[in-house]
Amino acid sequence: MIRHLLVIGAQRCGTTYLHTLLDGHQQVTMARPANPEPKVFISEEATGKGAQWYRETFFAHADAELLLGDKSTSYLEDPKAPARAADMLGDVHVIAILRDPVRRAISNWRFSTDNGLETRSLETALSENLAGPRPWDPSRTSVSPFAYLERGRYLEYLIPWMSAFPATSHVLFLEELLEDPHTLDGLWPALGLSPNLAPPGHDETVNGSPGEPPVLTAELLGTLTAYFEKSNQALSAHLGRDLPW
């Protein structure tokens, strides 16, 4: 029986790193090409083509793997994506990978800047984002390149996925994954996979910009910490565990 896995982690939270680790497991194969991401479930037109089209288009390379995986950061931000995935594939495993939302926001700014989408300084961009979202061009990116802060209110985005797939949703944290290579040991059995067929090494291959990340002023850092306090508390309570930041 073909089973599916969706990595829906937030942008700049290590989804590419997790994709690499999953693809290294002998019983998993991830969608190809990986770049650009498939983004199937943010499109009514794409999902309307059906499961056979999906498998033939993105998993023609699959052999005898037990799990077919697909990664897109866009999935997390589309509240209709869980229903589309359920309609096309039935029950699937869902993995969200998250990160300290302040560090994620800084990384998001660097990514947008490196790709010519952002011209404001870090302090200006994050300060202005506190006042609300900024318009963006959907023809250039599938999600806003300026959602530095709202994108870090993780639970709001997770609820539709965890409601659609309550028994097969998993949440990981980048900080723990990088600190302890055995973090995934408990995930493999939950996915129905053999731990002894996991990749032997865990290289720290996370997309990032070269050089040291910019440092926020103490004032703005305090403001952002307060901004995320309630959402972090809600996420911690929902997951029933402390957050690693």
Report pLDDT digits (tens) over 187-228. 999 999 999 988 775 555 556 666 677 889 999 999 999 999
Residue 37 near residue 124 (C-beta atoms within 8 A): no
| Polymer length in residues for the chain | 245
Contacts of 12 (CB under 8 A, 6+ apart): 99, 104, 107, 108, 111, 207
For 70, how many CA atoms within 13 A lie in the half-sphere containing its CB?
Answer: 22
* Alpha-carbon span 149 to 112, nearest angstrom: 14
**Widest Cα–Cα separation across the chain:** 54
Contacts of 98 (CB under 8 A, 6+ apart): 9, 10, 13, 154, 171, 172, 173, 174, 235
The percentage of the chain sitting over the pLDDT mark of 90, rounded to a whole number, equals 86
Predicted TM-score (pTM) of this structure: 0.93
Region 149-167 average pLDDT: 97
Mean pLDDT rounded to a whole number for the chain? 93
**What value, to the nearest 5°, has the Cα angle with vertex 178 and ends 175 and 183?**
90
* Whole-number pLDDT of residue 21: 94
Per-residue pLDDT of 18-69, as tens digits, reads 999 999 999 999 999 999 999 999 999 999 999 999 999 999 999 999 999 9
Give φ, ψ of 7 to 5 degrees: -95, 115
Please name which of 26, 147, 19, 42 lies closest in space to residue 95, comparing C-alpha atoms: 19
* Whole-number pLDDT of residue 167: 96
Rg (CA), the chain: 18
